[in-house]
Amino acid sequence: MAGAPPNHGDRPADDTAEAKAKNNMPPIVGIGSSAGGVAALQSLVSNIPADSGIAWVLIQHMAPDRPSELASILARKADLPVAEVTHDTRIEADKIYLIAPGQVMTIREGVLRSAQDGDPLARRTSIDAFLVSLAEDQGEHSGCALLSGAGTDGTLGLKAVKEAGGLTLTQTLQTAEYDSMLLSATRTGLVDREVDVAEMPGLFTDFLVRRKPIARDVEVEDGERREICNVLRRATGHDFTDYKSSTIDRRIRRRMQIHGIDTLSAYVDLMRDDRREPERLFRDLLIGVTQFFRDTDWFAALAAKVLGPIMEEKTEDDEVRVWVPGCATGEEAYSLAILFQEARAQMESPPEVKIFGSDIDEAALHFARIGRYPHSIAADVNEERLQRFFEKEDGHYTIRPQLREMCLFAQHNLLRDPPFSRIDLLSCRNVLIYMNPGLQKRLMPVFHYALRPGGFLFLGPAENAGHDKLFGEFDRKHRIFRRIGETARLPEFPIAGGDGENRREMQRQDVATKPGVTDPAFRTAQKLLERYTPAYVIVDGDFEILDASTGTGAFLELPRGRPKANLAAMARTELAVDIKAAVAKVLTSGERFVRDDLIVGHDDERRYLTLIVEPLTGADASERRCLLVFQAGAAAMAQTTERARQRGGDEELVRALELELQTTKERLQSTLEELETSNEELRASNEELSSVNEELQSSNEELETSKEELQSINEELRTVNNELSTRVEEQSRANSDLKNLFSNTRIAMLFLDAEFRIRNFTPPAKPLFRLRDHDMGRPLDELAGGVELGSLKEQVAEVIRSGEQIEKEVEARNGEPQTLIMRMLPYRDENDVIQGAVLTFIDITARKRSEERLSDMVSELNHRVKNNLASVQSMIRQAAQHTETKDEIHKVLTGQLHAMAASHDILSRGDWKGAKLHDLVGAVLSPFVGEGLDGLSLQGPEVHLKPQVVVGLGVILHELATNASKYGAWSTGAGRVSLNWTRVTTDGDELRIEWAESGGPPVAPPKSNGFGLNFVSRSTQHELRGTCQHEFPSAGYRCVIVAPAKAMLMDRDENR
């Protein structure tokens, strides 16, 4: 936007000041910081006096998903109370307020309002959000400072505070750990001072509390104002001479007040000595106040009376072009986009709409491109439009893509840069009011040129088009005007300047800075001019006229339609073809060309012409230029007449000329048709290139936004790391006396404060809760280790409340399961006041496992005893049924009980986890054949029996041995028994045990099985879940037992 001061509503500053004083509202300073900001904030708060009379609000980027210790860190450095804002809080002087993690904070009517915002983009612009609300709420009674940080957050907020009249400061780049946030703000030119952090409290106190009234009564004289404007123009290139003096004077006095300067001459000297001061004054003069649908009735009239005529004369292949000069942050441009989008929705085949928003403030344009506005716009935009054209987020509204794609924002100076063209609607509201009538009058031709014939001009309530010959009133009440006339002339730029002498000086400066003045091609042209006095023009390779002398009117003429400075279009009809051919030849060959037989004019006005074309060399080898000299008069005529006479007189000359003329006309017609075709193709190509350029620009904006988001995310990570590092350092100092105790103890201990946050812990606690050294300050709820704590927080609260100890067992999973004894005791300070709790964890896993093993053994023993009693009962019943005397029963039972005892002995030695078959055989049969197992041969693989079958198989083997010693192989002393076992898979996985006797008495099959054989069969079936087969060959008795391997053998044998 061409520079002009902001206008903060209709309320005078004095009224605002009285209102603030009436409500006893203290001045408020907002401080924004990000990565590297913790150390800067510590330095700041340590230098704030306890009686400054100012309320300080700190906005620090913090991770949203974890609590912050920043409040406690700053409290130790500050003489003022520090409070973290988590709910609506009335602001008070001499207090420091800190934003809470994951919150977006604003201020309204002196009340800090904090709200949770899940949108990462909102949190990354939290500084802007607060400072903008601070400027709106407190006006010139506010101030702001930006400290170390990455990204661009805070730039727009600082701009708002500056426009409201507040003081704006930034930390010096040399002292900031991260400077990108500071650079972004500094580039706007809106920073009043760049100072060390320690100096900021004094500057704010001086400006807001001990404000010096020195500059308020200074009267700015016209000469002094003109001198300041001249310094501004030379430094910035922008001329404010034609702006209203009251506007300029108010901003000059503010700058004097900031610097403590009491005379205008001293301020002029400052502007000359400090090259940054003109830029700061320039930024002070920029307009930045805007809103959606400002003056609602005016926009309603525009929609009802103007949009219809514009849209109705367009087809779906056409484009409606709208220009909004001074668009600032984009609200006016988007307001018009909404109106056009609503109008398009009423049409079957609506045209495309393109809205150009321009401003010289790049920071404001960046905001406009993002299209994200605070929730307060709901006061200006109705609910239906909010839902249709905005995406609602927590505390913000974002322009939907369909609306954003209609708008293109570009940096443009209304007073210096040529305007956009073929515009259907030009909306320039509340800009002209800051300019004097002379500048307003000179701007009207610019608007007239930009608008297409019949286009509309939309101005603010206090503005008028003025030029009756350029614009006609369309709607007087709502300041809508319509362009008059079909043709328009683009005025010379720049158009600013208070008087003719100033403008001439600016034009001389512009000419002096044009590259053509020092271009060798132009120096060559000056030498040629000394040699050729006739009329001349200089053209480039596209026939565009770069320079021309007087006297070319006989050879060039203004074409129809829009003016063009093109030699091919301006050459007279009878010369156009020859001129084009001559220029093309010279550009191709690089050699001088002369044509001395040209005739211009008709009948008595016929003139003879010699055309001389000289090649020129530009500063760049790629530049192609020509000098064309038109030599007319007696010399040319004499040369032509002499050649005609030599060819045979006047008649022949006439015929030759007529033939040449006819040929020329035909060539001209053909060339014109080709030219028209080429122009159409070029227009089409130009439109395509324009579309591609706009798409590329939109893509670039999206990439820029993505880059900023990534920078903001990275910035949050840096902030978290910075805060954690600070906390680690403090804990290291606090724990120095306990370091040896902590390092050597084997007890895991957690120290908690009254808010259930970790104060400290011993090394053995790290694996239990996956703790790290910088986890100090974490809440108890966030412990993510393997300890199952259950309702631990409630129990800790009970310990803190009652002061009584609580002890319980807890389970943990840190690799292998663990059992811990947890004791919770109150943590008391030196005054015996409970400030938290101490949790100790003693590992009793080994003891617990011993108890479990003991319990398992008892259970197993109990089970075995029951089974053995059942077996004994069964043996007694069977013995009673098949024996006749008590002695026989006693003898049978004694042997079987001996076998059971031997089997139990084998099991106990193996910890009741089973037994090897070979060991069982030796233990049970050794009483019959001795320890050497004489008369017994064993053969089979090593197998491990399950504990459930060891006793049963032992009793079976004992019974087979008893029969062999009574009646079989061992009864004679010379017999032998072969005991073989193997695994067979013929009918499934089975264990086969074969008992074969030899060398004993002859064997004959019995008529019926006795007690022993029946006992073996029944025990095999019930104890081993197998089958038993008795055979009686003459060589000796044989028994084959087959049982499922799954029931007999341990798993490790089954897997073989």
Q: H-type helices in 883-972, by residue range? A: 886-909, 917-929, 947-966
- Output the pLDDT for position 850: 77
Which band of pLDDT confidence, cut at 50, 70 and 90, is reported for residue 117? low
CA distance 5 to 13: 14
Domain shared by 202 and 228, yes or no: no
In a domain, 688, yes or no: no
What gap in Å lies between CA 979 and CA 988, rounded to an integer?
22
For residues 937-962, average pLDDT: 88
Q: Which amino acid is at 79?
A: D
pLDDT (average), residues 199-206: 91
Number of domains in the chain: 6
Shared domain check, 369 and 283: no
- Could you tell me the pLDDT band of residue 359, with boundaries at 50, 70 and 90? confident
DSSP codes joined into one string, 844-900: -HHHHHHHHHHHHHHHHHHHHHHHHHHHHHHHHHHHHHH-SSHHHHHHHHHHHHHHH
| Shared-domain flag, residues 280 and 422 | no
Least confident of 584-588, 669-673, 757-761: 669-673
Residue 983: what are its φ and ψ, rounded to 5°? -100, 130
Cα distance between residue 758 and residue 729, in whole Å: 15
pLDDT above 80 for 856: no
* Higher pLDDT among residues 1037 and 713, named by residue: 1037
> How high is the pLDDT of residue 947?
85
Question: Which residue, of 211, 228, 251, is where some domain finishes?
Answer: 211
Q: What is the pLDDT of residues 645-693, one digit of tens each?
A: 555 556 655 665 666 676 566 667 667 766 766 776 676 556 556 545 6
- What's the rounded mean pLDDT across residues 206-211? 77
CA gap 855, 537 in Å, rounded: 115
- Give the integer Cα–Cα distance in Å for 944 and 941: 10
Per-residue confidence (pLDDT) for residue 826, from 0 to 100: 92
- Min mean pLDDT across 58-62, 80-84, 616-620 is at 616-620
For residue 135, pLDDT beyond 80: yes
Most confident of 574-578, 768-772, 778-782, 942-946: 942-946
Query: How is residue 430 annotated by DSSP?
Result: S
CATH number for the domain harbouring residue 407: 3.40.50.150
pLDDT at residue 120 tops 50: yes
Residue 507's pLDDT band (cuts 50, 70, 90)? very low
Q: Say if 719 falls within a structural domain.
A: no
335 and 474 housed in the same domain: yes
Tell me what the mean pLDDT of segment 214-240 comes to: 77
Average pLDDT taken over every residue of the chain = 78
pTM for the model stands at: 0.43
Distance CA 255, CA 277 (A): 9
CATH of the domain at 583: 3.30.450.20
Residues 262 and 375 grouped into a single domain: no
Is 436 a domain residue?
A: yes
Tell me which of 861-875, 881-895, 924-938 is least confident.
Answer: 861-875
Give the residue with greater pLDDT, 414 vs 1029. Answer: 1029
Helix axis angle for 245-259 and 276-284, nearest 10°, is: 130
Domain boundary among 647, 675, 703: 647
Q: Which CATH number goes with the domain that contains 1003? A: 3.30.565.10
Residues 391 and 529 in one domain: no
Which residue, of 268, 287, 306, is where some domain finishes? 287
Measured between alpha carbons, how far is 878 from 889 in angstroms, rounded to an integer? 9
Indicate whether 177 and 264 sit together in one domain.
no
d(CA 128, CA 106): 10
Q: Which pLDDT tens digit goes with each residue over 154-191?
A: 877 888 888 888 889 999 999 998 888 898 788 766 78
- The answer to whether residue 717 sits within a structural domain is no
Q: Using pLDDT thresholds of 50, 70 and 90, give the confidence band for residue 883.
A: low
Residue 1040 pLDDT > 90: yes
What size, in residues, is the chain? 1056
Phi, psi of 493 (to 5 degrees): -115, 150
Q: Do 407 and 258 share a structural domain?
A: no
Q: Do 23 and 88 belong together in one domain?
A: yes
Tens-place pLDDT, residues 964-1015: 888 888 888 788 999 999 988 877 789 999 999 998 888 888 877 777 788 8
pLDDT in the model for residue 146 = 96
- In the chain, the percentage of residues whose pLDDT exceeds 70 is 75
Residue 518's pLDDT is 46
pLDDT at 15 > cutoff 50: no
Portion of the chain with pLDDT greater than 90, in percent: 19
Pair 342, 358 in one domain: yes
By residue range, what is the domain housing residue 342? 296-483
Q: Is residue 138 part of a domain?
A: yes
Q: Give the DSSP H/E element, type plus range, for residue 552.
A: none
* Distance of alpha carbon 57 from alpha carbon 42, whole angstroms: 14
CA 46 to chain centre: 33
pLDDT at 30: 96
Report yes or no on 671 lying in a domain. no
CB 141 within 8 A of CB 166: yes
Cα dihedral 558, 564, 566, 572, rounded to 10, equals -20
The verdict on residue 1025 lying in a domain is: yes
Count of other CB atoms within 10 angstroms of residue 692: 10
**Rounded to an integer, what distance in angstroms lies between the CA atom of residue 759 and that of residue 757?**
6
- pLDDT of residue 514 exceeding 50, the answer is no
Greater pLDDT, 856 or 384:
384
Residue 683 within any structural domain of the chain: no
Same domain, 206 and 222: no
CATH code, domain with 224? 1.10.155
> What pLDDT is stored for residue 659 in this prediction?
60
**CATH code for the domain in which residue 170 is found:** 3.40.50.180
Verify that 773 and 916 share a domain, yes or no.
no
